[in-house]
Structure 1
């Protein structure tokens, strides 16, 4: 392919990536080193209350933001503060103080480290479960009778079709308060059950929901990959006396390894940005994620101000975490690519 033809072929994609991916990332990176604050002024405000003969007036000095007369918006000023926003998010002084005192529980009282702990646990616990459950469903459907495959595939895909927030709310309604499953368990055990009163039960339900929601995606990918397995190799393994588990370990899994890495990459990126479960399960009082923490920084306070700089710093730290998690699967993909090229 000529260079000119190749250039015009990829130019639209490169332009869209620069416009909608690179430019916003650069903007967020810049904002993480800046702090934008409203310009304040002090004014005297006279407050009068009616009296019996005359009214009583009191003069107070108040600090209020300056409003631009032309735009009607609050005037702001932007200052470069370096890594101050990162320090405000990480709170390293409290972090090192907790380590020095040996009280590790205090670290989880800091919002960022609390969110990081849950995000990593959520990502690394659900990853093998999604791959394992998806593979088991794919193997079961692949070995099922042809007349049953269509209905089983349709039913298996239903959790993946449901909108994430709706799916998490459905699980929430099943277990919260007098939900169907909670009421059934209480009737069966004779005890009051509060699934959303403590962090660990909320996390278990989140793990269950994520596997229930995403495993169908892994199932579809694996089922498609199973259709390309070399039957001659499988038949040779059977003739050589290989058991079902040995055929799975030495023939099927190596054949599906590129797909396993692909699903791992997608799942790592998606789970590290977990947000829907926090909103659907209303777990902010017990469990938060890095993505929710960024959202919380962007939520206006009582005065209408947003912590944009801290939100940008939190977003950049989240992106760095995703890159770190992707290093191992990307290295494996690169080695396989180089090996295939030779």
Structure 2
């Protein structure tokens, strides 16, 4: 393909990526170095008690947002540099928590950013292997059943992935919260009262189970499609040579599916690191929050109507940096495999 033809072919994608990815990221990076807030002014307000002759008037000072000629709040933007990141990461509080008698990791995880980071990393790293393992196991099982049953089974397996994430999280929450059907069933089996939403660790397990239930069908579809391209002659040769089912899986099927496994792992890591729907759907803010939810909370207006846009921008940039660090090993492996195939 000629260079001109290739450039024209990828130009629309490059333009859209610049407009909707590169420029917004640059804007967020710039906003993280500036602090924007409303300007307030102090005014004197006179209050009078009811009455004509006995009315008593007092004057008090109140603070209110300053408005411009058009009636809009006046905003003040100041350059703060890395102060926003310092305020978010709280290095002094971290040093104090990790010092002797400072409380250690429990005290560290009481800080909002590190509490969100701990849950995000745990959620991402624990759900990934289950998504890959269950997706591959179901794909192998469906590939081995009779052809007439594959269509209905595939349709049923795809239902969790089709459901909107927030709706699915709310549905699972209703099954377990209070006197939900599954909570009542567990109480009957265990012979004791349960309150799964009263403890952070039980709530975290429920959110992980939901994520695996919701995303495993995606891995299943990808692996099932990959199984259709496995070389049957190689499998038959392995059977003739006396290879067991496990050996055929390990030395023939898994190496063939390895590019797909890396692809599903990349997608799952990026999506899990941005976990947000589970926190909203399970209402876990009191026990567990994620980095994405922390950014959302900074963008929520406070009592005065201000949004912590600078801290939200810094949180977004740190979240993106975390995703890059997690993906580096897989990207390096993909690049090496690409160079070998060339």
Shorter chain as normaliser: what TM range?
A: over 0.9
For residues 3-22 of structure 1, what are the structure 2 equivalents within 5 Å?
A: 3-22=3-22
User: Whole-Å Cα distance in 2 between the matches of residues 161 and 74 of structure 1?
Assistant: 44
Q: Secondary structure at the match of 1:194?
A: coil
CA positional deviation for 1:159? 0.4
User: Whole-Å Cα distance in 1 between the matches of residues 250 and 9 of structure 2?
Assistant: 41
CA positional deviation for 1:48? 1.4
- Find the counterpart in structure 2 of residue 37 from structure 1: 37
- Find the counterpart in structure 1 of residue 178 from structure 2: 177
- Find the counterpart in structure 1 of residue 146 from structure 2: 145
CA positional deviation for 1:51? 4.5
User: RMSD of aligned C-alpha atoms?
Assistant: 1.1
Q: Runs of 5+ in structure 2 lacking a partner?
A: none
Deviations 1:104-145 (A, max 9, x none): 211011010000000000000000000000000000000111
- Find the counterpart in structure 1 of residue 195 from structure 2: 194
Q: Secondary structure at the match of 2:87?
A: helix
- Find the counterpart in structure 2 of residue 81 from structure 1: 80
- Find the counterpart in structure 2 of residue 129 from structure 1: 130
- Asked if 1:99 is matched to 2:98, the reply is yes
Deviations 1:306-334 (A, max 9, x none): 00000000000000000000001100100
CA positional deviation for 1:240? 1.4
- Find the counterpart in structure 1 of residue 308 from structure 2: 307
User: Whole-Å Cα distance in 1 between the matches of residues 151 and 9 of structure 2?
Assistant: 39
Deviations 1:234-276 (A, max 9, x none): 1111111111111111111010000000000000000000000
CA positional deviation for 1:63? 2.3
- Find the counterpart in structure 2 of residue 273 from structure 1: 274
- Find the counterpart in structure 1 of residue 54 from structure 2: 54
Q: Runs of 5+ in structure 1 lacking a partner?
A: none
User: Whole-Å Cα distance in 2 between the matches of residues 73 and 114 of structure 1?
Assistant: 37
For residues 237-252 of structure 1, what are the structure 2 equivalents within 5 Å?
A: 237-252=238-253
Q: Secondary structure at the match of 1:139?
A: helix
Q: Secondary structure at the match of 1:109?
A: coil
- Find the counterpart in structure 1 of residue 261 from structure 2: 260
CA positional deviation for 1:3? 2.9
Q: Structure 1 stretch 1-10 or stretch 291-300: which is displaced more? A: 1-10
User: Whole-Å Cα distance in 1 between the matches of residues 20 and 337 of structure 2?
Assistant: 30
CA positional deviation for 1:187? 2.8
For residues 207-226 of structure 1, what are the structure 2 equivalents within 5 Å?
A: 207-226=208-227
User: Whole-Å Cα distance in 2 between the matches of residues 86 and 109 of structure 1?
Assistant: 18
User: Whole-Å Cα distance in 2 between the matches of residues 20 and 199 of structure 1?
Assistant: 37
Q: Secondary structure at the match of 2:230?
A: coil
CA positional deviation for 1:52? 7.2
User: Whole-Å Cα distance in 1 between the matches of residues 186 and 7 of structure 2?
Assistant: 63
TM-score normalised by the chain length of structure 2: 0.97
- Find the counterpart in structure 1 of residue 168 from structure 2: 167
Q: Structure 1 stretch 99-108 or stretch 287-296: which is displaced more? A: 99-108
CA positional deviation for 1:4? 2.8
User: Whole-Å Cα distance in 2 between the matches of residues 236 and 29 of structure 1?
Assistant: 56
User: Whole-Å Cα distance in 2 between the matches of residues 329 and 196 of structure 1?
Assistant: 35
Q: Secondary structure at the match of 1:192?
A: coil
CA positional deviation for 1:6? 2.5
TM-score normalised by the chain length of structure 1: 0.97
Q: Secondary structure at the match of 2:292?
A: helix
User: Whole-Å Cα distance in 1 between the matches of residues 219 and 20 of structure 2?
Assistant: 28
Deviations 1:202-234 (A, max 9, x none): 011011100100000000000000011111111
User: Whole-Å Cα distance in 2 between the matches of residues 127 and 46 of structure 1?
Assistant: 63
